[in-house]
Amino acid sequence: MIFDLVKQSLKSPRVLIPVEELLGNAQGSRMPEVKPALLTITIAERIVAACPTAALALEKTETGSFLTLDYGDCIGCGRCHASGDGAVVRAQRLLCCGVGRSALVKRWDLRNGKEVLAEEEKLASTAGKIRALLGRALNIRQVDSGSCNGCEAEITALSNPYYDLERFGIHFVASPRHADMLLVTGPVTRNMAEAVKQTYAATPSPKLVVAVGACGTGGGIFCGSHAIVGGVDSVIPVDGYIPGCPPTPAMLLTGILHVLRADRIFRRHAPSAGPEIVSKR
């Protein structure tokens, strides 16, 4: 029977998800996408009231009203989609994966329904050094600093034949001493804080750190617990954040490549992404 399965598998066409379908793909993440043209003050007030993590905020100033969405605090609960009257939908694409913390915050002017944009994000010099040393090859050490394992389940999927992370020259390694990047999940618990610091110290320079999920970004749903210290950046420096609870494998891959500044891949496969635009706070 096993031989029948092997024969059948060899006859099947190879199916590998194309990179252009992966980059920026947020399907299944339940992350929100705001349709600013449909936003009104009433809808903004309603979705802000519905948000359990204060990821959404409404700011009324003398110059106007602004809606802010912090993807780093969003847990993808979907309440804003349900109460947004079409002004908030499930995101199909999300390009702010693997970006700096401030780039996770989007802001819209409710008077004209337009996003408030700021300068292009600067490229990190560490990523440049790693790229110069290794081309596109990258060794990742995954560190669980106290997660619920939801993020790990998605990270594990990166190595399956469907997402096939290794086709990009990216591998998971067992020791921080062999790593170029630490992929850190979970809110940092008090018990794990020292271990995270030691893991960072054991990783040779140049090195990159990516905080994964709402927990890694700022503590997520565990924020305020006596048992946690906070997000990953409360104990070690972070180069990029990947939002979501949990982020999908496609979002993880987008974030890892973005942090590595694998620009050639982005330009070739996601030209619409363009330069990363960050919102002014």
The residues that touch ligand SF4, with contacts defined as CB under 6 A, are 32, 50-53, 55-56, 69, 74-80, 147-148, 150-151, 185-186, 213-215, 220-221, 245-246
156 near 149, Cβ under 8 Å? Answer: no
In the complex with ligand SF4, the residue whose CB is nearer, 81 or 131, is 81
Structure tokens at 194: 């020292």
CB of residue 50 vs ligand SF4: minimum separation in angstroms? Answer: 5
CB of residue 23 vs ligand SF4: minimum separation in angstroms? Answer: 21
CB of residue 128 vs ligand SF4: minimum separation in angstroms? Answer: 29
Residue with smallest beta-carbon separation from ligand SF4: 150
Helix (H) or strand (E) holding 263: helix 263-269
- Partner residues linked to 58 by β-bridges: 67
> Where in the chain does DSSP place strands (E)?
32-34, 56-61, 64-70, 88-90, 105-109, 114-115, 117-120, 138-144, 170-172, 181-185, 188-189, 208-212, 228-230, 240-242, 277-279
In the complex with ligand SF4, the residue whose CB is nearer, 78 or 100, is 78
In the complex with ligand SF4, the residue whose CB is nearer, 50 or 116, is 50
Q: Give the integer Cα–Cα distance in Å for 54 and 39.
A: 18
CB of residue 35 vs ligand SF4: minimum separation in angstroms? Answer: 14
In the complex with ligand SF4, the residue whose CB is nearer, 126 or 144, is 144
